[in-house]
Structure 1
Amino acid sequence: MEAINKKKTIVITGGAGGIGTACAKALKDHKLVITDYSNDAVDEAVKSLTKEGYDAVGIACDITKKDDVVKLMKFSLNHGDFGGIIHTAGVSGSGQKPKNVFNIDLVGTDIVIDEFYKIATKNSVLVLFSSIMGHTIPPNDEYDAALLNPQKEDSFSTVAKFVNDDADMMYNFAKRGVLLLLKENAFRIGQKGARIVSVSPGVIMTPMGLKAAEEHADRINKMIEVTPLGKTGTPEDIAEVVKFLISDKANFITGSDILIDGGILTSLLKEGKE
């Protein structure tokens, strides 16, 4: 596939994870900036990619801290002109507290958008990661206002009233927030000639997904049963769509979320109405 610009860099957050790694491996024509929370994980990912012939560098980053994201942004500019960011970093609700999920999945995304907007130029692309579960949360003026402004002091407490201390439910709300941020930022990013898109994966067998399958086997099996394609997805399924979205072949797509779910969302929404 034709690259955006071989001299430009593509930043991949969560780059040591299953989907982040798959995205990196789909982008051999690009300069890659790999980032993740752990220094060791970043070093290992960069070492592995370099060994396979990729042009990759890395830096650790806590996406919930603005100073860290600014440091990541400047690091990427030191390695070439900005071509795009693939923001895969995030956590599921499993084993997490609701506030951690809110901060990592939504506050972190808001910070990433704000900082990389500053260096967005014509033909650069921001790819966010939502989830099919974000689509299951209905509109509501009160929590939507908080989801759209997650860095405000009272936003977490506003959303928390609706999730009953359930981290899995907070995940769903946070991912709705990502969809709202996508729409909210499309115009201002578009005025720079840049694009912002998101993808919403279904049941994907990443290391996180495999762990969830072990802990909640009945739930995962039920989800597969109601998936029209009757199977789970792979990180490579996600990476191929992302590869298209950052290419010039998608240069008239912005403000859009792409479902990569084997059709399961249709079944989930249908069940919710019954």
Structure 2
Amino acid sequence: MEPPFIGKVALVTGAAAGIGRASALAFAREGAKVVVADVNVEGGEETIALCRALNTDAMFVRCDVSQRDEVERLIALAVDTFGRIDFAHNNAGIEGVQAMLADYPEEVWDRVIEINLKGVWLCMKYEIRHMLKQGGGAIVNTSSVAGLAGSRGVSAYVASKHGIVGITKAAALEYARNGIRVNAICPGTIHTAMIDRFTQGDPQLLAQFAEGEPIGRLGSPEEVANAVIWLCSDKASFVTGATLAVDGGRLA
């Protein structure tokens, strides 16, 4: 049977590693052509090599999603190369630093908001403009369980991820009758480089993170990618404006 996304094009930001890379590879397995975007050129090139090994076309574009000109160029290159953008996973993000709110560095706050929230807005701005021309599409934004509940010491990250939930709902309502579905995924503790930075290689601390999940383990990037694929598929055709927690039961 032919893969369901044959003839479709998927764009994934923050795809040099972790959830973004897993998402790009999941789209490739489903038959889509994949546009990989990231500021990490080496990691991005590795991702497209892995996509091509799955017998699909893939291209890499270096892009800082906080910069309007770079995002506009990304969308233009994707359309010029593949003719369309059917699916977009706006995943690029950073965690900032760990500090109490009153001590949080202003320059780090600004950078977290610029990449995590403004970056999602800019990507949607240009993705939606093209999707309106082609008659529809599906967008998934990466928020977090920190976008649905508070967390100490990471106020900029929490604010940005709550903002993603809000802008996802607003966009879903604005474009629901244009054939464009917009949803958000809210990962829990997923074993990525971000978690490794938090734990600093301490196996006991990593075990504590795992123990804090009701399911008793950390999630994998591939499990999050599976949720992205479902939200983009026809199986989720009546789903828009949703926030899907992929968190092993943590918020429950």
Q: Could you say which TM-score interval applies, normalised by the shorter chain?
A: 0.7 to 0.9
Superposition deviation, residue 43 in structure 1: 2.4
**Considering only aligned residues, what root-mean-square deviation do their CA atoms show, in Å?**
2.3
Q: 1:265 to 1:116 in 2, by over 3 A?
A: same
Letter of the 2:109 partner, please give it: P
Structure 2 CA distance, aligned partners of 1:86 and 1:106?
14
Q: Which residue of 2 aligns with 1:151?
A: none
CA contact 2:25–2:50 (8 Å) conserved in 1: no
Letter of the 2:50 partner, please give it: S
Structure 2 CA distance, aligned partners of 1:94 and 1:219?
18
**1:33 lines up with 2:35 in the alignment:** yes
Q: Trace 1:232-251 onto structure 2 (pairs within 5 A).
A: 232-251=218-237
Q: Which residue of 2 aligns with 1:10?
A: 10
**1:228 lines up with 2:239 in the alignment:** no
CA contact 1:2–1:248 (8 Å) conserved in 2: no
CA contact 2:24–2:47 (8 Å) conserved in 1: no
SS of equivalent to 2:130: coil
Which range is displaced more, 92-101 or 202-211?
Answer: 92-101
Superposition deviation, residue 123 in structure 1: 4.3
Letter of the 1:55 partner, please give it: D
Q: Which residue of 2 aligns with 1:81?
A: 84
Structure 1 CA distance, aligned partners of 2:211 and 2:150?
22
SS of equivalent to 1:203: coil
Letter of the 1:262 partner, please give it: G
Deviations 1:116-165 (A, max 9, x none): 11012444111000000111149xxxxxxxxxxxxxxxxxxxxxxxx9xx
Q: Trace 1:145-224 onto structure 2 (pairs within 5 A).
A: 168-214=154-200, 220-224=206-210
Which of 101, 112, 116 pairs up with 2:112? 101
Q: Which has the higher contact order (CA 8 A, sep 6+)?
A: 1
Structure 2 CA distance, aligned partners of 1:52 and 1:81?
21
Deviations 1:20-54 (A, max 9, x none): 11111212200100110133332232233223433
Which range is displaced more, 181-190 or 93-102?
Answer: 93-102
Which of 72, 75, 83 pairs up with 2:74? 72
Aligned length: 239
Q: Trace 1:105-116 onto structure 2 (pairs within 5 A).
A: 105-116=116-127
CA contact 2:185–2:244 (8 Å) conserved in 1: yes
Q: State the TM-score, normalized to the length of structure 1.
A: 0.80
Deviations 1:62-93 (A, max 9, x none): 10011111101111111122201111110112
SS of equivalent to 2:241: coil
Q: State the TM-score, normalized to the length of structure 2.
A: 0.86
Structure 2's unaligned 5+ residue stretches are 99-106
Q: Which residue of 2 aligns with 1:92?
A: 95
Q: 1:82 to 1:97 in 2, by over 3 A?
A: same
Structure 2 CA distance, aligned partners of 1:235 and 1:134?
18
Structure 2 CA distance, aligned partners of 1:187 and 1:48?
36
Q: Which residue of 1 aligns with 2:149?
A: 136
